Amino acid sequence: MRKISSIFILCMLFPLAGFAAGGPALDLEKADNSLEDKDSLKRGAVLFSNYCMACHSVKYLRYNRIARDFGWTDEEVVEAMTYGQNRSVDNVTTRMLPGVDEEVLGTKVPDLSLMARLKGSDYIYSFMRGYELDEKTGEWDNRLLHGTVMPHVLEGMQRHMSAEEFKQATRDITNFLEYAGEPAKLQRHDLGWKVILFLLVLILLTYLLKKEYWRDIKH
Ligand code: HEC
């Protein structure tokens, strides 16, 4: 019997062993962002446009989708994110001309649409905050992606903001990128509450109905 139970326990542990073998754990800061915070999402979209879109796209998103989800009008979204340079039906693509990345940076700049799903929000947050000055070379390096060709684009922002403000700004950008990875999440959250509310009302109604049915029956 004991043998059987230890085999059973071993089998249960196997999936855990699989996870543990996924590579060294990264030391990540918690992003603590919230998709329910629409103001944070709006700030994140504007910061993303100002600091990241010189190189990156989130090409699976359109401006009018963002408008609908964040509570902007079509005019407001293109004004906030592109100074009115784009149409609201356009996809959110980088302002960099094709091929310039490989010419100037020597590599292709990744699209960030699915980056939050690929690497997690905490990674994106920590990556933006992970730049450290290398004492020897005097150049910025990223502790999560050593030797990265992406420059420390938030250096000026970090210098001019308090630690708390910089946390919020990087959290807002992370929030926007988590949204970009799965825009339907916003509706799912909304729908979840409605379903729960519906079920509660249904329980109340069935309870009242039961009382009504059994009222005249002695039991
Ligand atoms: C000057 C161009 C440039 C700008 C501006 C820029 N990036 Fe990047 N980014 C890159 C390049 C190039 C890479 C690929 C890095 C590499 O392979 O070393 C990259 C990679 C990334 C990655 C993936 C990292 C990984 O582990 O693979 C993330 C996340 C990212 N950038 C986020 C941002 C965010 C957020 C901003 C705005 C705050 C931003 N980037 C602004 C050029 C840029």
pLDDT digits (tens, 9 = 90+) for 136-152: 889 999 999 999 999 99
Check pocket membership of 153 for ligand 1, CB cut-off 6 A: yes
CA atoms within 13 A on the CB side of 28: 15
Q: What pLDDT, on a 0 to 100 scale, did the predictor assign at position 50?
A: 97
Q: Is 145 in the pocket of ligand 1 (CB under 6 A)?
A: yes
**15-19, 92-96, 110-114: range with lowest mean pLDDT:** 15-19
Q: Is 157 in the pocket of ligand 1 (CB under 6 A)?
A: no
Cα 100 to middle of ligand 1, angstroms: 15
Q: Kindly state the average pLDDT of the residues 106-134.
A: 96
Among protein residues, the one whose CA lies closest to atom 7 of ligand 1: 150
Local structure of 91: helix, strand or coil: strand
Q: Is 56 in the pocket of ligand 1 (CB under 6 A)?
A: yes
Q: Nearest to residue 62, comparing CAs of 40, 43, 36, 81?
A: 81
Higher pLDDT, 23 or 101: 101
The rounded Å distance from CA 166 to ligand 1 centre is 18
Q: Detail the residues annotated as belonging to a binding site for heme c.
A: 52, 55-56
CA–centroid distance, residue 198 to ligand 1 (Å): 44
Lowest mean pLDDT among 87-91, 129-133, 135-139: 135-139
Q: Residue with the nearest Cα to atom 29 of ligand 1?
A: 124
Q: Which residue's CA lies nearest to atom 9 of ligand 1? A: 150
The DSSP bridge pattern shows strands 131-133 and 140-142 to be antiparallel
Distance 88 CA to ligand 1 centre (A): 25
| Ligand 1 contact, 118 CB (< 6 A) | no
CA distance 100 to 105: 8
Q: Any idea what the Cα angle at residue 33 is, between residues 93 and 80, rounded to 5°?
A: 40
Atom 42 of ligand 1, nearest CA residue: 150
Q: What is the predicted pLDDT for the residue at 92?
A: 97
Of 99, 113, 35, 25, whose CA–CA distance to 70 is shortest? Answer: 35
CA distances from 21 to 10, 25, 63, 120, 192 (A): 16, 10, 40, 18, 34
- Pocket test of ligand 1: the residue of 50, 55, 97 to mutate, having most ligand atoms within 8 Å of its CB, is 55
CA distances from 66 to 40, 49, 52, 89, 218 (A): 13, 13, 17, 10, 60
Condensed to tens digits (0 to 9), the pLDDT of residues 163-200 reads: 999 999 999 999 999 999 999 988 887 788 899 999 99
Residue that the structure tokens 């929000």 belong to = 121
The one-letter amino acid code at 74 reads D
Q: Which residues contact 84 (CB under 8 A, 6 or more apart)?
A: 78
pTM: 0.83
Angle at 29 between CA 24 and CA 35, to 5 degrees: 120
